[in-house]
Structure formats: structure tokens, C-alpha cells
Structure 1
Amino acid sequence: MIDLRQKKLFLLDMDGTIYLGDTLFDGTLDFLSRVRERGGKYLFVTNNSSRSVSAYVDRLAGMGIASTADDFLTSVDALIWYLRGKYDDALIYAFGTRTFREQLAEAGFRVTDKLEDGIPLLVCGFDTELTFQKLEDACILLGRGVDFVATNPDWVCPTSYGSVPDCGSVCEMLFRATGRRPKFIGKPEPEMALLSMERYGYSRAETVLIGDRIYTDIACGVNAGIDTAFVLSGEGVPEDIEKFQIRPSEVYQDIREIFLRME
């Protein structure tokens, strides 16, 4: 059992964990206030690469959560960290939203969404602006043997009406067409959790990751060697524990139950 009162850094998945669609879960504001009251820090850690951090700040503000860029770590942040020093001068085909391309460009990378000669790398993110042209371009590039990196392996992104295909599903389509799989950067890889602890100076014992997906959120925490809290308010169900053979430290119904356990 996790002693939540001893935790200082709370790594929080967002969609399905603290809200769903545009609906904030009951208990979220209480939980966030409690963390701050106790001198801890919460960090929103998301695999969603379709939005910029500023868009997340605005979205949370609309739900009553005041935040700054310092409260977020996205899979695009981790992707930029991974690309730095490897592809600084390369022309990168960015398969994703306009915002995804802008974030890479603002970090100093040369990016395009047009098929050109001399492209050594295809990067793929969650694309809510998906077109068949992008799929065709990606297949051509992968057939040429370019490097292939993707932000996250999530199969679906939860919404208020169900789910939509996420980056992992699109990458699976590309694999079926080309036989090529990407190197994934975001959860379940441990880098996002490790970067969070390094950036803010917390130990593994002081850190817990809270999320609604066994195969990404909980796996990230397990791979990073930290405690994990699996919430049943989003995509995940209890049967996923046996299905994926990944065991969280604790299972909770929702964020309100976690808040109540912090008393």
C-alpha cells in the first residue's frame, strides 16, 4: 500500500485521470490543493502531442485549475530532448498537428509536412488533423529507410463520447503497410518520469505516478522504479492488470479516493 502522505512529487496523467473530455472529475481540485498545502508538487505528464503547453494551460483554466508551463511535461518535451544533438541540422518530416510542428520548430528543428528528398527522419505524434496524404507520405519515407520516432504508443485517446485512434493506432497502420515500427519516446518508456524527478530534485521514494492506463501510465512508473496509482476513471479496467502483466502499487476508483487517502 502507498503511503500518500509521504509523497512529494505527484506525476499526473490528465485525460481519464483528472478530467474526461471537458468535464473535471469530482475531487480533482481538492487533491491539487492538498498537494500544495503539504508543500509538494504535482506535474501534469501527458503523452498527448496534439496540443501545446499553452493550450493545456488555457484548457485547465477553463476548468478552474490555475497552472503555468512549469506544471507540465509532455511527450513532445521528451521528444525534443531525445532529438537534441542527433538531428539538429536535419530536415524532419513531422506527422502530426500544426501545433506539433510549431513546437518542434520553436525548439530549433527544421520541420516539414511535405514529401521532399533528403529527409532522414519521420516523427509521428497524435494527429487530430490526419489526412491520407500524410499516411502516404509516411509510407514512402519508411520505404526509403528513414529513421522513425513516435511520441507515444497509446492506442486510443478518451473523449466524452468514447475513444478515438491515438498515435499508437496510426503507427500500427504504418507497420501493417511497411513493416516498420517506431522508437516510442513517451509513456511507457521511463524517460518522462526520470526527467521529472531530475528536473525538480525528488527521489524515487518521494514520487508517485497516477494514471488510467496500465500499458502506458503504470508501465512508465514501473519502468522508472516508482510507486504507481491506477485509477479506474478513464480507459483502464481491473482486468488490464492481468492482460498486460503490469502491476500497479495501488488501484483506486478515482482521484477523489486518492484525495481521501491523503487525510
Structure 2
Amino acid sequence: MKDYSTYIFDIDGTLVKQNKVLEGAIDYLKHLREGKKQILFATNTPLYTQAMLTKKLNRLGVYVEEKEIITPIDAANIYFKQEKKPITVLGIIHPKVVTKLIDLGWDITHSKDFNKTRNYTHVLLGMYTKLTYLELVAGLQSLDRGAKLLVMNPDLFCPIKTGRIIDSGSLGGIYEKCTGEEATVIGKPTYWMQKAIEDKLRYPLSQCLFIGDSPFTDMRMGREMGMDTLFLKSGINEFLSPSIQIDATYSFPTIKYIPYANNSR
């Protein structure tokens, strides 16, 4: 396997499953850091800010720095900056994600504080575990009044230790069915997430490797950006149809099987 200058990792299903670190993840990251490689983490999770993810991963023993993490929050920030008009956002997302976007300067209201008299320009949807039916209704009513639907990630489900849970892409499908309008997705593998990653790269794309468990987001984005890709079967693979063709430069069962560049394993 070729040696690279930058290694970009997905997180869920690649390094961890919920609160369990996958075997080999800590050792492989340590090996790369000892080799002075640039390491980035590009996740589609809509649940956490960079600070929250840093705290969680470090607590699990996976050392990361906040500046190394790219999330759909970064993609949303880029998207909003490119809008030509003033925006007002209804956020059907984790409250701390709302707070982070407010800190970045955006006019965003959490769906629990929905104001029926206000016309929102956008509804920003991201799965979170305390989402309620009334929040979904608030989003639909805003869309009916002309708001544009943004979905933080296209994933239909997320793998966990006990199986899988519904993710943002499935929730976005509810609104698409109701309105007949297609949502705009801003997480991996879209332009906005690609831009967020490119802004952090120190090396040419030809010297970068994207490592993840999703053929639909991780592998696709790596290919579209011109990177080599490495597919791991440790995440959503168990839920994929055997007929799905995985287009990746490399493929391994889990991270512990990735060979070290200098064969020092």
C-alpha cells in the first residue's frame, strides 16, 4: 500500500461505534502521528460540534485536536456564506449545534422555539435523539411557507453497537414526500463538505487518502476530490446489498488490517 502525506478518516463505523473504539484504531493513528502525517477527521454526524467530538474521542482514548475535525457545521457555514440574501434558519438539530451556528454569526432558531409568525428562509435538518413530532411539524409548516430544506447529511441510517438508527437522510425523505421538493444536502459527499476539507489540506490531493465505511459518502467524496480511497467493512457494510459494487483504491475488513507504510506492524 502506498504511503500518503494526509490521511482523512470518517469516524463512526471507521474508528468507533458509539462509545466503543474499534480494535486497531488507536495504534494506527499513533503510528501516523509518529510519522508526522497530517490527520483529519471528516464526519457526517449532525449530533456534535467539533468541541463535543474532541471531548468524546479523547475520553475514549482516541487522541484528536479540535482543529482536525470537519463536520456538517463547517459545510453549513460555507453554504450560508454563499447565499446572496439575508437568512433566517429554523434548526431541527441538536441544541448545541444551534449554539455553534449562532456563534458563527447566523440567525438560527431551534425548532423547540418555533415562532409561527416568523418566515424562515431555511429549515436545517439533522438527526438528534430527542427530536419530537412537533418539531417535524414546525419544519413542515416552515417549508409550506417557502423555506428551503437543508439536510446536514444524506445518510439513511447510522451503525451502532446494537444495529442501526435512523439518520438525517431518512428524516429528510419525510419532507420530500410531503412537499414534492428535493432537499439540498450539505454534508459528505457534497461540494460544501469537500470545500471544508480542502481548506484544511496541507498537501496535494494526490498525496491524500480518504478512509471510511460508506461507499455512498466516503468513497464517493474521495473519488470526486481526486484522492485515493480506502474502504472498511466495519460500519454500514453489514446492511448493504451484496450486489453493491465498492469502488475504492483499497479495501480491508477493519482498521486493524491496514498495513503500516513501513511494514512495522
TM-score of the superposition, structure 2-length normalised? 0.90
In 1, the alpha carbon distance for the partners of 2:238 and 2:191 equals 22
SS in 1 for 2:206: coil
In 1, the alpha carbon distance for the partners of 2:125 and 2:157 equals 15
- How far apart are residue 85 of structure 1 and its match? 4.6
Please point out which of 53, 60, 71 is paired with 1:63.
60
Q: Tell me which residue corresponds to 2:159.
A: 158
SS in 2 for 1:236: helix
In 2, the alpha carbon distance for the partners of 1:240 and 1:260 equals 30
Please point out which of 103, 107, 118 is paired with 1:106.
103
- How far apart are residue 206 of structure 1 and its match? 0.7
- How far apart are residue 180 of structure 1 and its match? 2.0
Distance 1:246 1:27, change over 3 A: closer
**Residues 79, 192 of structure 2: 8 Å contact kept:** no
**Residues 214, 231 of structure 2: 8 Å contact kept:** yes
Q: Tell me which residue corresponds to 1:138.
A: 139
**Residues 124, 150 of structure 1: 8 Å contact kept:** yes
Q: Tell me which residue corresponds to 1:9.
A: 6
SS in 2 for 1:11: strand
In 1, the alpha carbon distance for the partners of 2:50 and 2:177 equals 32
Distance 1:88 1:110, change over 3 A: farther
In 2, the alpha carbon distance for the partners of 1:38 and 1:192 equals 27
What is the number of equivalent residue pairs in this alignment?
A: 259
In 1, the alpha carbon distance for the partners of 2:13 and 2:82 equals 34
In 1, the alpha carbon distance for the partners of 2:241 and 2:84 equals 37
The more displaced of 115-124 and 157-166 is 115-124
**Residues 119, 145 of structure 2: 8 Å contact kept:** no
Deviations 1:150-180 (A, max 9, x none): 1110001111111110000100111122212
Distance 1:262 1:242, change over 3 A: farther
**Residues 13, 210 of structure 1: 8 Å contact kept:** yes
Query: What amino acid maps onto 1:168 in structure 2?
Result: G
In 2, the alpha carbon distance for the partners of 1:213 and 1:33 equals 24
Distance 1:28 1:246, change over 3 A: closer
Distance 1:156 1:119, change over 3 A: same
Q: Report percent identity of matched pairs.
A: 24
In 2, the alpha carbon distance for the partners of 1:227 and 1:146 equals 38
Task: Give the superposed CA RMSD.
Answer: 2.0
**Residues 194, 224 of structure 1: 8 Å contact kept:** no
- How far apart are residue 115 of structure 1 and its match? 3.5
- In the alignment, does 2:228 pair up with 1:227? yes
Query: What amino acid maps onto 2:214 in structure 1?
Result: R
**Residues 119, 147 of structure 2: 8 Å contact kept:** no
**Residues 233, 254 of structure 2: 8 Å contact kept:** yes
- In the alignment, does 2:15 pair up with 1:21? no
TM-score of the superposition, structure 1-length normalised? 0.91
SS in 2 for 1:215: coil
Detail structure 1 runs of 4+ shifted over 3 Å in the superposition. Answer: 237-242, 259-262
Q: Tell me which residue corresponds to 2:184.
A: 183
**Residues 34, 259 of structure 1: 8 Å contact kept:** no
In 1, the alpha carbon distance for the partners of 2:214 and 2:242 equals 10
**Residues 152, 185 of structure 2: 8 Å contact kept:** yes
In 1, the alpha carbon distance for the partners of 2:88 and 2:199 equals 30
- In the alignment, does 2:254 pair up with 1:254? yes
- In the alignment, does 2:45 pair up with 1:51? no
Query: What amino acid maps onto 2:224 in structure 1?
Result: N
In 2, the alpha carbon distance for the partners of 1:241 and 1:223 equals 24
Query: What amino acid maps onto 1:257 in structure 2?
Result: Y
**Residues 96, 129 of structure 1: 8 Å contact kept:** no
Deviations 1:188-244 (A, max 9, x none): 22443443233232111111111111111111112212111110011125965853x
Aligned counterparts, 1:185-204, within 5 A: 185-204=186-205
The more displaced of 234-243 and 50-59 is 234-243
Deviations 1:122-148 (A, max 9, x none): 111122221111111111122222222
In 2, the alpha carbon distance for the partners of 1:21 and 1:185 equals 23
